[in-house]
Amino acid sequence: MGRAQRNPTIQLLEYKKLGFTLFYPTYGIFWLTLFEGESMDKVKLGFIGTGGMAGAHMRNLKDNFEDVEFCAMCDISEDRAKGRAEEFGGNAYTDFRVMYDKEDLDAVYICTPPFAHGEQERIACEKGVAMFIEKPIHSELEPAIIINDYIKETGTITSVGYHWRYGGNAQNAKKMLEEQPQILGALGYWMGGMPGTPWWRVRAQSGGQHVEQTTHIFDLCRFLVGSDGKTVHGVANSGSMTHIENYDVDDISMVNIEFENGAVANIVSACALEGFGRVHLEVFTRGLVVTVGGPNNVNRKGETQPLIGEGGQDRDRVFIDAVKSGDDSKILSPYSDALQTLRIMLAASTSFETGKAIDL
């Protein structure tokens, strides 16, 4: 499969009946990329950010996939990049610009902190490299909107790491909820202690717990409620963690969401708790309450039974298949969808500061 060097000025015309796509840049040259009836044998992968989350993807890909090739490992830590390259394969880099210039990649996993997104996504779009981006997609809204524009203009395949959507529990819950005449609302929680990563507790870098960690619950809520947010109001409190150096995120926050379909939700984040944890989402209809995470159960008019966990999907498998085929229809969280989750969380940030409800 050829790789089209795309950029935001390219006009895209698809001729599906003929089995090819023509890319017409403004300066008069064109590339021809075959999609239908042709599939690459191995997807050439690069990684930007090679820490813990990246490592989880690498191990899954290495242990369970015969159709991928590790080509590049890029990290600000040279030792970490070299270590991953030795373990999984590929060349080590400390500058993703150099990596993009030297490697001929089909796809890249971008596993960087929220504040570090931007240029690596733009270059991937220009070079026609598909992207798996770990959540959240950014700590600020405007740069994420710009990235989304690049993706739309170039037709780049994207998947964002909201893995709860792919779990059997969530997918079975969604099927049950779609059979209900009305979803009334939801209660969500990510409550516990503070992760040890230094950037996590700096608001400018992580966005705060509700943006970086509870993002899974916000996104799962959108997924199961089946609607985007309409209005957001939040309150937050802090002061119990003053002994922690460089800590300026909220100890606890509560976010109320009104969705476009009329459903309402309250989502709680807390990172200052000792010896207590609660991580799940409850969705309510008149005769059904579904809990995903935690106890994973279904309450039908007072009778509780386990929520079936079978039938889920591997998010890496779905992404790699999309890269190989050019068909991204089975990806459950493309960048444009993840942007809607980010809008809710960052509206909550604004509401914390202003005390006002924010219309989306």
User: How far is the C-alpha of 81 from the C-alpha of 46, rounded, in Å?
Assistant: 11
Q: What is the pLDDT of residues 306-359, one digit of tens each?
A: 999 999 999 999 999 999 999 999 999 999 999 999 999 999 999 999 999 999
- pLDDT band, residue 39 (cuts 50/70/90): low
More reliable by pLDDT, 106 or 17? 106
pLDDT the model gives residue 113: 96
Strands 91-93 and 303-306: unpaired
Q: Is residue 146 within 8 Å of 27, Cβ to Cβ?
A: no
Sheet of 288-293, strands arranged across: 303-306, 297-300, 288-293, 278-284, 185-191, 264-270, 252-259, 229-237, 358-359
Report whether pLDDT(21) > 80: no
pLDDT the model gives residue 18: 31
The domains found in the chain, sorted by start residue, are 11-163+316-334 (3.40.50.720), 165-312+342-359 (3.30.360.10)
pTM: 0.89
The residue type at 142: E
pLDDT the model gives residue 203: 97
- pLDDT band, residue 40 (cuts 50/70/90): confident
